[in-house]
Structure 1
Amino acid sequence: MRPEPGQVLHFSEDPAITRFEPHVAATARVPDAYVWAVDHGRAPDYWFPRQCPRVLIWPTPATTAEDRAWLGADRVHAIEYGWLRRMQTTRLYAYRFDAAPFHPIGDPPHAHVATGTVEPLGPPEPVGDLVALHERAGIELRVMANLWPFWRRVTASTLGFSGIRLRNAAPEPETASPA
């Protein structure tokens, strides 16, 4: 589920939204009111239940051969076992928008935002099986007990990465103190 050329998508578990009003998201790092959407490249970042914590990783031109070998795939998304059942059962919908009222945000851009009210191009589309969607896109989905050790490894690497909703992840495991 990706936008067509000239479109952006907004993913939601709510199939009844008819207009999108700009607002300041509770988790926003910017104080401005926006309607948020994603383009073709970032759409897979949102093939999850909305509140699901996830780590997204991909090689960049600066990624070392060692980190590329450690990753072992072109793109990896990681979630915790505690979210797997929701990943398998959540009904997610995609709203399509004309990209014209949106502009990229972030450096590098990670989303598109509109500052005025926007209406979808049509009714929301069911996204379908989220695990199968990852498989069809060639994205390796890794399921682990806890994201934090993986996150620490990824953020210390030369890989490109993003962490979404990490505040909802299981607490970081205690590390044993040296004897």
Structure 2
Amino acid sequence: MRPETGQVLHFSEDPTIELFVPHVAPTSAMREPYVWAVGYDRCPDYWFPRACPRAMAWKGAATTAADADRIIGAGCGDRVHAIEYGWLKALMDVSLYAYRLPAGPFRVIGDDGHALVAEEPVKPLGPAEPVPDLLGLHEEAGIQLRVLDNLWPFWNEVTASTLKFSGIRLRNARR
């Protein structure tokens, strides 16, 4: 599930949103109200239940072969996502939806450009679309999906490496 040209996506477990209104996200360090969305490259970050903690790593221009082989695995692609066993059932059972939004009102935010924001209300281009088989989406995209007892040892290795990375909802991970 990726946006088409001229679109961005917003993923949600709520299929009834008719208008996205800027708000301050409870988890955001930013205090400005925004409508949040993602572009093509960062959609896989959201192929999860909303509250699911996930650690993600991928090759970047500065990634060493040693780090890529050690963390992603030799010959295992360019990207790996990890969740905890306690979230596997939710990953397989969640009803996740994607909203296609016009790209026009959105701008890149953050140093790494991981998210897009709009400062005005945005109407979806159509109804929410069910996001199919999240495991299948990972497989189709060539993204490894690891299931671990605890995310923190993996996260610590990733953040100390030369890989690019993102962690979402890590506060929900086991301690």
1:97 and 2:76 equivalent? no
Structure showing greater radius of gyration is 1
Unmatched segments (≥5 aa) in structure 1: 172-179
Query: Aligned residues: percent identity?
Result: 64
- For 1:1-179, list aligned pairs within 5 A: 1-70=1-70, 71-72=72-73, 73-171=77-175
Post-superposition Cα deviations, 1:93-146, rounded to whole Å, max 9, x if no partner, equal 000011000101011201100001110000010001111111111110000000
Q: CA deviation at 1:75?
A: 0.5
Task: Give 2:13's aligned amino acid.
Answer: E
TM-score by length of 1: 0.94
Task: Give 2:149's aligned amino acid.
Answer: A
TM-score by length of 2: 0.96
Task: Give 1:134's aligned amino acid.
Answer: H
Give the whole-Å Cα distance in 2 for the aligned partners of 1:28 and 1:68. 30
- Aligned residue-pair number: 171
4+ runs deviating over 4 angstroms: none
Q: CA deviation at 1:61?
A: 1.1
- Cα RMSD (Å): 0.6
Q: CA deviation at 1:12?
A: 0.2
